[in-house]
Structure 1
């Protein structure tokens, strides 16, 4: 049985980026562990929390609910605080993930890898998909943790296929719908979204599990961006989230469609 550790920056990142792969891996008999770097402290605060409610605790509960939906076997938290977007003062706050010592953070993750004797570790691409400081840090911490682990796992990087997204945007415009963005626009760090298809090695078709993926996303319904995604018609949601992409550093160029976690 293969054990895969999916390492994410905030609660709900697992639902948008890798939930389909988690579901299919669990169904195939693989063991799945999801690790969150932060509690998502700068996410949307739902009205029912009031001013004094603990948003991180609320989002942890949402993540645990998502884990039940996806078949995740274990959920862990590294214990850092959401750093906010690029340039926010929170980037430098004590306890922020962005400001964490690399070896310390990687050591926390490596301890989980060792406990699980993990075969595969999933992080993000070199700029975290869209430049969020915590997502970029996930990339750095994942690779360093793999080096520190007693048995080095195979490392994959969750990403977005920029070329595929561009085609979808053009198709939408041709149908008279303006998505209001382009994957080639500068994102939070000034780079375009995701990676070009030529730099991606795995395209996992998760459409057979798309309804379950949507249910996992719905567990994070406190978040405004999640609410927007859940308003998509089923066919639009499937087009946007039905394929999950991964780069694998060191692997020869070329795209595989096989599930790489079993």
Structure 2
């Protein structure tokens, strides 16, 4: 069993934990189990969101007109995010204040990447300074974010990793003893394979999505995203099926992005993914060299 996120931290007081994410819903999809687990343990849990997801796809037919309307979709997703944070029981912050300094950059190659406020194009030092200033008064013990490849390569996820890693460095440079432990979210390959077997056994055929597509279970030989790594590269884990109801309740507040089923969900691509009650992490930057040897250089 891998150690949990309290590893090496002082016992006897609530843990202070902060997760940093790119868009609304990422917090619950990527780290929601850890957030729910630590809320239920009585810890002080926060989420920082870097953009309002202006470029997201909308899978709810009644809200389809929001897709492509950046300001309107941002406000709608802000509401979804606020409700999801209430379900998780965490304190929420937007990077840059009530009106985020940066916006969703869209997928790689999209026209949104050229927007002057696109987060993927932000100066890393400037964004890290803003994040460090937000983190410092929270006195976090632990910070969670994406791996260097952004889980599946979204430019804003990659940028969030860069910005968060630099912000934690700044805290260590400027305030002695103030740097929190930084963990990046990863999936052990054996878990990913188990999840695909579970999906094949539990996802019925012909399940339709709100937008009219059909849920698809990944084939056994489909490639995994770069966030799936060899088991020995995952140094820590949160395993708590009891926290799943809280994670599910938060996901249910993101209907423009997520369709929930019993034990699994789909996004706009209709590919079924499991909610397994466990999440893997690696301490950063100690794991950097091993991860890069295994997965190759992350995006520049």
- Matched residue, 1:5: 18
Question: Displacement, 1:155?
Answer: 0.4
Are residue 145 (structure 1) and residue 172 (structure 2) matched? no
Choose which of 159, 175, 180 in structure 1 pairs with 2:186.
159
Counterparts of 1:26 and 1:174 in 2: how far apart (Å)?
32
Name the TM-score, length of structure 1 as normaliser.
0.82
* Structure with bigger gyration radius: 2
Change (3 A) 1:246 1:186: closer
For residues 165-244 of structure 1, what are the structure 2 equivalents within 5 Å? 165-170=192-197, 172-173=199-200, 179-181=217-219, 185=223, 187=225, 192-223=226-257, 226-227=258-259, 230=260, 232-234=261-263, 236=264, 240-244=275-279
Are residue 62 (structure 1) and residue 80 (structure 2) matched? yes
Question: Displacement, 1:68?
Answer: 0.9
Choose which of 34, 58, 61 in structure 2 pairs with 1:21.
34
Change (3 A) 1:97 1:241: farther
Change (3 A) 1:162 1:88: farther
- The number of equivalent residue pairs is 243
Please list every run of at least 4 consecutive aligned residues from structure 1 whose deviation after the TM superposition is greater than 6 angstroms. Answer: 174-178
Counterparts of 2:32 and 2:170 in 1: how far apart (Å)?
27
Change (3 A) 1:74 1:200: same
Counterparts of 2:148 and 2:279 in 1: how far apart (Å)?
17
Counterparts of 2:228 and 2:275 in 1: how far apart (Å)?
14
Name the TM-score, length of structure 2 as normaliser.
0.73
Which ranges in structure 1 are unaligned for 5 or more consecutive residues?
254-262
- Matched residue, 2:128: 106
Counterparts of 1:33 and 1:4 in 2: how far apart (Å)?
6
- Residue 130 of structure 1 aligns to a residue whose secondary structure is helix
Question: Displacement, 1:157?
Answer: 0.7
Counterparts of 1:247 and 1:162 in 2: how far apart (Å)?
14
Structure 1 vs Structure 2 CA RMSD: 2.7
